[in-house]
Structure 1
Amino acid sequence: MKNRNIKHLVLIAFAALALGSCKDQAKMDADKKAMEEKVAMEEANVKAEEMKVKEEAKQKEMMATSISAIASNNPELSTLVSAIKAANLDKMLSEPGSYTVFAPSNNAFEKLPKKMSIAELGKPENKELLTQILQYHVVSGVITSDKLVEAIKGANGKYTFTTVGGKDITASLTGDKITLKDEKGNKTEVVLGNVKASNGVVHVINDVLLTK
């Protein structure tokens, strides 16, 4: 009887040890899992921060070579830059996108009548008109000089395309020069083409294009 009790106590002790051992193992497994999850989260946070830094650097580089930045760095386009800012279009031409801009030089703006001078167009009451004029110089997508010449030849000498303002411009060739005709019938030439930007391409022209 005594031996039986001793055996019973031994079995209970082993059971208690086994139970304690299981609990310890479960705790160890839980601690290990928690640690692994913490490490994984920290690694994910580090990667996310690295991606953020890279994206910010990429964005900064893109803006530094955007259409707005290129125009701002060209003293011959300072009037255009002032007009773009007055019409609040500088943000659009600084952000990622794909545009072709026919950029009137300072001399081009000087040819406009006094009532359409940049001083007049820059007034708040003329902002809508200024915006329409500037949008008439912007086309969605990248059209290089080579592509434009190819399109002109493919259209029997006259290629018409639509600007972001919904108005048309007709391009043709005068010798080896690209000529643009606006809706008023006025013509201008591309004097400097294929100025590449991170969000498109710029062609400098020597007149301001006008709609009807």
Structure 2
Amino acid sequence: MNFPQSKTYLTLALLCFNLVCMAQGQGLSAIPTGLYFSAKKTIAEKTMKSDQYRTLYAALKATDLEEVLDMDGPFTFFAPTDNAFGQFSPEELNSLFKEENKAKLKSLLSYHLVAGHISASKILKALCRGGGRASFTTIQGKKVTATMSGLDIVLTDSLGNKAIITEADNNQSNGVIHQIDRVILPSTM
């Protein structure tokens, strides 16, 4: 019996096994770069191409933070969706986008950004070590506090407003995005 298709699968399986062995024994640098590639985007590219983050990306662009989120990082971005920005009235949102409020908008967005790659499991470990509370200093300079509510990780801003991480660990080439259901505030708006 001739099984040409089976031979192809066997060859591919052996090639994959070889690559895994090489990677485990010598690290990923041992694998020739032509044999693999990363399809992940930067955080800026991900927000730009997502239908859920149109308002967020417009705000990043207006404050030049999309350039920061296109850099190497790593970053952790607590990313509010378009629905999250719905907590603001259209007038409040339009006001935030005015040139004279650029610093205010940049401060707001910077409050959603933490230096380093903080996965959901790292947040949970920090919660365990902190007796159910963990705080993270944002690049804006103020802290955001994480707690648990049932199975949800909840972020609380300096004013007591709460946001739930609705989608965690969206890994990108320069960090991680955790989608949140509310905009957190560093101070009163």
Q: TM-score range with shorter-chain normalisation?
A: 0.7 to 0.9
Q: Larger Rg: 1 or 2?
A: 1
1:138-177 aligned at under 5 Å gives the runs: 138-177=113-152
The residue that corresponds to 1:85 in the other structure is 61
RMSD (CA atoms): 1.8
2:70 to 81, 94, 99: 94
Matched, 1:191 2:171: no
Q: Distance in 1 between matches of 2:91 and 2:62?
A: 17
CA contact (8 A) 1:63 1:95 kept: no
Structure 2, unmatched stretches of 5+, are 1-36
Give me the TM-score of the superposition, normalised by structure 2: 0.76
Give me the TM-score of the superposition, normalised by structure 1: 0.68
Q: Distance in 1 between matches of 2:127 and 2:92?
A: 31
The residue that corresponds to 2:29 in the other structure is none
Q: State the 1:120 CA deviation.
A: 1.6
Q: State the 1:169 CA deviation.
A: 0.3
Q: Distance in 1 between matches of 2:145 and 2:62?
A: 27
Deviations 1:61-104 (A, max 9, x none): 88971000111121011110000000111111011111000000
SS in structure 1 opposite 2:67?
coil
Q: Distance in 1 between matches of 2:142 and 2:113?
A: 10
Matched, 1:68 2:47: no
Q: State the 1:133 CA deviation.
A: 0.1
1:1-212 aligned at under 5 Å gives the runs: 65-117=41-93, 119-212=94-187
CA contact (8 A) 1:63 1:69 kept: no
Q: Distance in 2 between matches of 1:176 and 1:150?
A: 14
Q: State the 1:113 CA deviation.
A: 3.8
Percent identity of paired positions between Structure 1 and Structure 2: 35
AA aligned opposite 1:121: L
AA aligned opposite 1:75: D
Q: Distance in 1 between matches of 2:86 and 2:38?
A: 31
Count residues with an aligned counterpart. Answer: 152
CA contact (8 A) 2:40 2:172 kept: no
The residue that corresponds to 2:8 in the other structure is none
Deviations 1:27-71 (A, max 9, x none): xxxxxxxxxxxxxxxxxxxxxxxxxxxxxxxxxx88971000111
> Comparing both chains, which one has the higher relative contact order based on Cα–Cα distances under 8 Å and sequence gaps of 6 or more?
2
Q: Which has the higher helix share?
A: 1
Q: Distance in 1 between matches of 2:130 and 2:186?
A: 22
Deviations 1:7-27 (A, max 9, x none): xxxxxxxxxxxxxxxxxxxxx
